[in-house]
Amino acid sequence: MDQTVRDHHHQQASARLSRERAKAETSAAFSNLSDVLVETVNLPVAVAFRSQQEIESLEKSVLAESKAFAANTKKWLALVAKLNSSLKELGDVENWANAIENDVSVVVDVLSQVPGGSNASIASTSGTSRSATGSRNSLFS
């Protein structure tokens, strides 16, 4: 009977060792499976996170560029408005000069019709004179 009890204890110890080994192997296999599943799930999440970071970085750079573009556009619009104003003023000066030239021409014509000897000197100092064909020399031509 002692032998049977010893054999029984030996079988139980052997079975316990076998169960513990199987339990350790199962635990290791589940740990590996868990790591693989977490990696499989985390890979798309990591890709999405990196993509989101890149998009946010691009968004910041586009925002900065658009602000700079808006500032440059405002500067260009101000320059164009200033140029337009200057061109209008130039047109006004040209019209004024033409009016003065016409007035001087009328004064010269009137003075040339007045009898006396000072007509030639007035016509030569006014900047406008008549040629043989009858055309005037303009101040701006």
Could you list the mean pLDDT of each consecutive 10-residue stretch along the chain, which spans 141 residues?
89 93 94 92 92 97 97 97 89 88 93 71 49 43 45
Give the integer Cα–Cα distance in Å for 125 and 128. 8
pLDDT for res 132: 39
pLDDT for res 73: 97
- Cα four-point dihedral sign 109, 111, 115, 118: negative
pLDDT for res 51: 97
pLDDT for res 57: 97
Which runs of consecutive H residues, i.e. helices, occur in the chain? 2-113, 119-125
pLDDT for res 88: 86
pLDDT for res 125: 52
DSSP code for 18: H
DSSP code for 133: T
